[in-house]
Amino acid sequence: MRSTTSPFPGNRAHSGRGSRPAFGRRSIVAALLVCLAGAVSGVLVAQTVQPVKYSRLQRLEQWTEALERHQPAEKDAALETFADWTAPEFAELKISFYSALQIVRDPSIRTFFRPPLPNGRPSTQAFYSRDEVRQLVDVAKRLRKLGESHMLRRGAMLHLDAVVLGSGNDARKGSRRSDFFIYHMDDGQALGQQDALGQWDFARFLLEQIHPDPDDVRPRPSDDDWVRRWYRTLLAYQLSQMHFNVADAERGLELFPSDPEILFLEGVLHEALSSPAIQEPLRNSEQTRQSALVRSAGGELDLAEDLLRRAVKRDPTFVEARLHLGRVLVERNNHKAALPELTQVLSKIQDRILQYYGQMFLGRSAAGIGDMAGARAAFERASQLVPAAQSPPLALSQLAYARGDTDEATALLQRLAELPSLERDDPWWFYNTTAGRFFAPSHQEIAADLRKEMPQ
């Protein structure tokens, strides 16, 4: 049962009572995961014509072994299993695994179908030789031993860990046959793209098969709280790395549309997607924008506001959601709505960095309605909270200059100049990643839950 003031596991910073969140001192390279194919399995037949080192059933066997050996949230040898896999091999795994899963559910089955297509079209049959069927049966026996839902959760954990903890995350050099690619950006400039294996997609596929009721095999992942927390972990990871995978994020929201944590993280994700660091590289790449499901800056802010409003409606005590809602309202120049939101939230946040954000946004909002004294007071409070931050003296200097006080404006810049640039540590630079600090505790929590069900 989660606390209303601290909805994230083991993170005191959220409630405003704990230590400083673990952010800052980092530069961020952003990335978007882009899916090119609507019907992924539709291209697999041609891909498997390529000469391969391992057969599809050998790959399934390797995957099963990795699943059995991997300790959740630990960087072990099992995570290296996928280091030499190609994207077509990985796409083929989805089909062979799905066939094995059908045997797990009905050991007598010998007619296999490919995974259901996302657009509702009927899936086609998958064919295997007798030897392959025998291997499928063997794999299915091993998978059944783990317990179906537990096995599916461990599979999702395996791929989450392979991306998060494994070397080289999901990127693949030169596979050229992937339905996924990663679009890299840094400081608002496109760095290029790289093929991806599609591990997030596969993890999501595994979770889609979960049916908490053993007597009803119709998938119901939305009834599974571990799945909810997996998506929460995924969203926090995306924010911590500025490594966005909008399709998976949106699936989390579809499954858990009323969950304040999911709504909050999703809202913050879309707030981050509205930033110039993401929007600018997509300016000349409309196709990537559409494939990556990224809207215009205004569209992302609209969505962020809606999601954050829904989060605070579900949990009115969710102060960090209110803080982000306040900032989104400021960005949209809706200062009349932002001011009461920020004033209210500031009375409840004790964490120094979140207070800093709140004071800065309050200052901007106050200035937006012409309350320059209020703006000045807020920026001064922010400056006291983080004396090494660059933004408050700049904000105060700008206010002074706007009212004609050149001496104070320049004195504030002088104060800033006296602070060596390398000693400056402005939380504002890492605002978009702050909610990513929930990743580590959330990751540990879902791993601990899995370990409880694993033989020691």
Partner 1 sequence: MTVWRRAAAVGGLVLATGVVTVAQRPTFSSRLEAVRVDVLVTENGRLVRGLTPADFVVLDNGKPQTVDLASFETLPVNVILALDHSASVTGNRLAQLQDAARTVLRALAPRDQAALVTFSHRVALQQALTRDGGAVVAAVDAAQPGGQTSLFDGVYTGLLAGVNDPSRNLVLVFSDGVDTASWLSAAQIIETAKRSDAVVYALSPKDAGSAPFLRDLAGQTGGSAFEVDSLAELSGRFVAILEEFRHRYLLSYSLQGVPSPGWHKLEVRVKNRRATVKARPGYIGIGK
| Residue 410 interacts with partner 1 (CB under 8 A): yes or no | yes
Q: Which long-range contacts (CB under 8 A, 24 or more apart) does 1-8 make?
A: 2/261, 4/315, 4/317, 4/318, 5/317, 5/319, 7/260, 7/261, 7/264, 7/315, 7/318, 8/232, 8/261, 8/438, 8/441, 8/442
3-state secondary structure of 112: strand
Dig out the tokens for 135 from the structure.
Answer: 């291997």
| Residue 428 interacts with partner 1 (CB under 8 A): yes or no | yes
Among the candidate windows 57-65, 172-180, 199-207, 424-432, which touches partner 1 by CB under 8 A? 424-432
| Residue 369 interacts with partner 1 (CB under 8 A): yes or no | no
| Residue 28 interacts with partner 1 (CB under 8 A): yes or no | yes
How far are the Cα atoms of 107, 316, 354 from residue 5, in angstroms, in the given order? 48, 9, 14
Question: Taking the complex as a whole, how short is the minimal distance between the CB of residue 134 and partner 1, in angstroms?
Answer: 41
User: Of the two residues 43 and 419, which places its CB atom closer to partner 1 in the complex?
Assistant: 419
User: Of the two residues 184 and 443, which places its CB atom closer to partner 1 in the complex?
Assistant: 184
Alpha helices in 187-224 (DSSP H): 199-208
Question: Taking the complex as a whole, how short is the minimal distance between the CB of residue 126 and partner 1, in angstroms?
Answer: 34
| Residue 243: closest CA among 157, 160, 361 | 160
Residues between 233 and 252 that touch partner 1 (CB under 8 A): 241-243
Residues between 144 and 173 that touch partner 1 (CB under 8 A): 168-169, 171
Query: Binder to partner 1 among 139, 303, 345, 416 (CB under 8 A)?
Result: 416
Query: Binder to partner 1 among 160, 409, 435, 450 (CB under 8 A)?
Result: 409
Q: Exposed, middle or buried by CB within 10 Å (0-12, 13-18, 19+), for 185?
A: buried
| Residue 331: closest CA among 384, 388, 273 | 273
Considering Cα of 451, then 444, then 101, then 262, what sign does the dihedral take? positive
Location of structure tokens 């999703």: 266
| Residue 429 interacts with partner 1 (CB under 8 A): yes or no | yes
Query: Binder to partner 1 among 130, 422, 455, 456 (CB under 8 A)?
Result: 422
Question: Taking the complex as a whole, how short is the minimal distance between the CB of residue 193 and partner 1, in angstroms?
Answer: 12
Q: Which long-range contacts (CB under 8 A, 24 or more apart) does 317-320 make?
A: 317/4, 317/5, 317/348, 318/4, 318/7, 318/260, 318/264, 319/5, 319/16, 319/345, 319/348, 319/349, 319/354, 320/14, 320/264, 320/349, 320/354, 320/435
| Residue 381 interacts with partner 1 (CB under 8 A): yes or no | no
| Residue 404 interacts with partner 1 (CB under 8 A): yes or no | yes
Lay out the site mask for partner 1 across 300-339 (x = CB under 8 A, - = otherwise): ----------------------------------------
Among the candidate windows 26-34, 43-51, 52-60, 251-259, which touches partner 1 by CB under 8 A? 26-34
| Residue 373 interacts with partner 1 (CB under 8 A): yes or no | no
Question: Taking the complex as a whole, how short is the minimal distance between the CB of residue 63 and partner 1, in angstroms?
Answer: 24
Within 8 A by CB and 6+ apart from 303, the residues are 267, 270, 295
Query: Binder to partner 1 among 11, 16, 30, 443 (CB under 8 A)?
Result: 30
| Residue 443 interacts with partner 1 (CB under 8 A): yes or no | no
| Residues in contact with partner 1 by the rule CB under 8 A | 25-31, 168-169, 171, 182, 184, 186-189, 241-243, 275-277, 280, 283-284, 360, 390-391, 394-395, 397-398, 401-407, 409-411, 413-414, 416-422, 424, 426, 428-429
